[in-house]
Each structure stands twice: as C-alpha cells, then as structure tokens.
Structure 1
C-alpha cells in the first residue's frame, strides 16, 4: 500500500487484524527476494491458477526490490518463520512479471490499473494449503458487493514491526465505488494532494479500526459468496494515507472492472483455476 504524502515504504500491513486460521486462505502468497524463510515478504499476492499470481503493479517497481529474475512466491505459508509450517509450504521462482500499465515511480503516481500478473517457473502443487482463489464472475458488480475481507502479512500499526503469521481483518470492511469514495470528507482532503483522480478501475474499503498498512501491497480484498461458499477476489491493495487513519478509506485496484477482469483472464489462460 502506497502511503500518500509520505516517503514510500513499499514494504507496505493489516492494522488491528487477527491471525488467520491455517488453510483459511490457501491462495495467499508472499513475494520475497530470497529462496527461503530468512526475510519477510515484501508484497502480497494471490494464486489465481496453479502457475499465476496476481499482485499490485507497483510491487514490480525497482524500488520495491522485486525483480522477476530474483523474486520467489511463498505459497501455503501461514507463519513464515515457523519451520513446521514452512515444510508444508512451497517456494516457487517467478518467471515473468507483467503489469497492466506503467507509470512514473519518481512522481509517486499509482495508476488506476495497479495490477500485475506473475507467471511462475513451475506449477504449484495444489493441496489444502495451496489453492487458487476464484476470479469474480462477469455478472458480479459492486452493487452486489457490500463488504469484504482482507488478509496479509502487514504491520500491526503504522511504522511498527511485522507479524510472523498471516493476518486477516476480524470484521468485514465496507466496500464503496470510486464516486462514493471521492465524496468521503476525509478522503476529499487526501485527493486534493494526490495528482490523479479516482476512476472506475479503483474501489475503496473502509473499516472500523481496521485497515491495510506497510507490507500488505498487492494482497487480496475478498468477497465471500454465501450461496457458493467461496471467496472471490474483488480488489488488490494499492495505496492509502498512512494506516488506519480515522475516516480515510484504502484504495484498491478494482478486479470487478471489465477491462481489468478481461486482462487478467486472458493472461492466465491454460492454468488450473478454482472450481466454481
């Protein structure tokens, strides 16, 4: 998550969340620079096929330290420091990273389509700890989605240390479209300082005392379909003003946007997806 108006600490985490249960989110991926468990993940991502991860486009910037030729996807790891759970996880090298758009990092501009697909060098072995999340169906719109859930390895508090275990928001977050988000009083103040307006390729989420923070970038905003009892990815952590500041929503790449959804679908054809 990019903190607007502050130095960019791209190693951007979920504030006031709770530990996720083991195997609760088997699609969650940590992106790291090392083949092992010696360093914390830099960004989050989501397994959407057995060989594709979707993350935020800004996670591929050189300033993040994530380059396709030196980046690894940590799949199925609930606690990245625990040797027992580590043995059950998989570390797969990233073959290629493809952002949907490019932008000038030096200017601090996060694009409206802050999305990238990472192709892995080899398929992930699918099991209860490693399984793709469902992409949103074509008929799913924001009008049908009222709340969402986040997960990530982000910091507990702004500027604080990083947890070892995957965290999730304990309560659901209110989802709003870019127009409603732009009208939130505290958000209007933020957008006056931000060089680009919000568009329909973005959505926002606001929680009661819960938010993303440094380290959560690229992680999934999820909607639970009670009819099918499945999670669908509806957004990617993109940017925000600090961490959990009162009344200020976080901004996400909108996976429900037809252009973004079609781009992602075309990029991952041929992979093993979730079973809707």
Structure 2
C-alpha cells in the first residue's frame, strides 16, 4: 500500500525487492487464508529474466478481466506482466496468464492517487473453478454502512521481523470495518484529505491493515444478497496499521460506469 509521503513507484519497489530477494510480505495483523475462500484474489507478477515476482494484488471480475490499482501499473509494460491465479502462494501453484491490455483510468493522478483504478484484459479467458472465481461488483444504490466488516487480502508486508515470516509467500487476510467518510477525511487532512473516489477501512487504534505489496488487491464487503462484493481496491495510507490512519481504498461503487465502459460488465 502506498503513502502520499512516500509513494512506492513500481521501479523503486522492483529495484529494492529484487536486490534484497524479499518479495514475501503480507497483510498486517491477518491470518493465512486459502485461495478457495477468496478465489477472486490474484497476484500481479513482473517478469525479470526468466522468473516472475509478485508486486501487487488484483481481483478477478470476469473470466476476461482483472481489476487493480492504477499505481500498480505505473511504468509497467504489458509484455512484462503475468497474472497468477488459483493459488494461495505467490511463488508456486496456480496458473500464470499473459496480459493483453492494461486500461488505466484517464483521470488517475500520481500525486493524489485519485481515480486509482486500472483494468487488465487477459490474453486468454480463465477457466473458472473452486479456486478461480470472479467477485461481484456492488450495485450503484447498494448500501455499505459505517463499521460494517470487510475482508482485505494479499501478499503484502506484515511488518514482522523476518524471523517470524514462517510462511513467506502465503496469502493472508484480515477483517476491517468501513470508516466514516468525514472522519477519514479529517484524519488525513494533513495529507490533503480523501476524495469521493476513495473510502477508508480499518481500526482507529491501528494494528490491522493492508501494506506494501497488497496494493491493487480486494476489499470485499458483504452485499445485499449476502455475497462478497468488491467495494474497494487497496490504494494508499500513512504507513501501515498506524493508529488514527486507516487504510485508503479506491471506492469501486462510484466508478461502475467507467468499469462497464471498459469491460462491458
């Protein structure tokens, strides 16, 4: 997850992580999670030499399209991008699919991370299974109340010492509550606040959050028909799991028209 104070560009992340060999981080305060529980989760992988490495998350929204954060696609060439699906681990199992096209929101701002959304069209259609499934999008008029619980998942940093990263490449998830929009805007006032294309989720006391490497991944909330809906996309925040600074997500619900225009969904 990115910060307005220190935004990790893709090139910077790749340089640091390839040099250190550490692509292992995960959700802060979460627990290991099977891909069969969250089969819409994918790992965005960059091709470096003959290997690919996880750098961001994403969500399956159909057998042809992935949704992620636009900042994950900065300086990224389509031919260097692979989508790993159907596995709880970012370094083994599953299937790697080529990307055909990256569609970035035309109003995306690198400075504010407003409109932080992109769609990836896959070169081949996914074969859906119990570990590869699309997550539904929310309806425009669907209600998600403050303090209702949502699930954020990914392979991002846990902020734990390396000695405690006993499952270094395992998918993790944590439940976090939706934060009142006005409160979150006030909390982030010193950083310019948040826009209507953003939403916040987390605990005011901190301790549970997405982090670097989770960017682009899903915030899934239970919709009116009791099924998970893609309410948010991991976007940015001040540090990770810091008190009084909850995670900031791209608000999917207000961008449905753009998603439909680009994907037909």
TM over 0.5: yes
**Residue aligning to 1:61:** 74
Q: Is the 8 A contact 1:57 1:101 kept in 2?
A: no
**Residue aligning to 1:273:** none
Unmatched runs of 5 consecutive residues or more in structure 2: 14-24
Displacement after TM superposition at 1:262 (Å)? 1.2
Query: Structure 1 residues 37 and 168 mapped into 2: Cα distance closer, same or farther (>3 Å)?
Result: farther
**Residue aligning to 1:5:** 5
Q: Deviations over 1:3-47 (max 9, x none)?
A: 232362655941011001241111101000139995441110000
Q: Write out aligned runs for 1:210-249 (5 A).
A: 210-225=208-223, 228-249=225-246
Displacement after TM superposition at 1:100 (Å)? 1.2
Q: Is the 8 A contact 1:241 1:248 kept in 2?
A: yes
Query: Structure 1 residues 253 and 7 mapped into 2: Cα distance closer, same or farther (>3 Å)?
Result: closer
> TM-score if structure 1 supplies the norm length?
0.81
**1:3 alignment partner, SS class:** coil
Q: Deviations over 1:229-248 (max 9, x none)?
A: 42100000111111111121
Q: CA RMSD in A?
A: 2.6
Q: Deviations over 1:226-274 (max 9, x none)?
A: x6342100000111111111121111100111xx11111222227xxxx
**Residue aligning to 2:113:** 111
Unmatched runs of 5 consecutive residues or more in structure 1: 271-276
Distance 2:136 2:7 in 1: 34
Distance 1:237 1:45 in 2: 9
1:71 aligns with 2:81: yes
**2:222 alignment partner, SS class:** strand
Distance 2:38 2:195 in 1: 29
**2:54 alignment partner, SS class:** coil
**1:263 alignment partner, SS class:** helix
Displacement after TM superposition at 1:204 (Å)? 0.4
Aligned length: 247
Q: Is the 8 A contact 1:57 1:99 kept in 2?
A: yes
**Residue aligning to 1:252:** 249
Distance 1:77 1:37 in 2: 20
**2:61 alignment partner, SS class:** strand
Q: Is the 8 A contact 2:108 2:116 kept in 1?
A: no
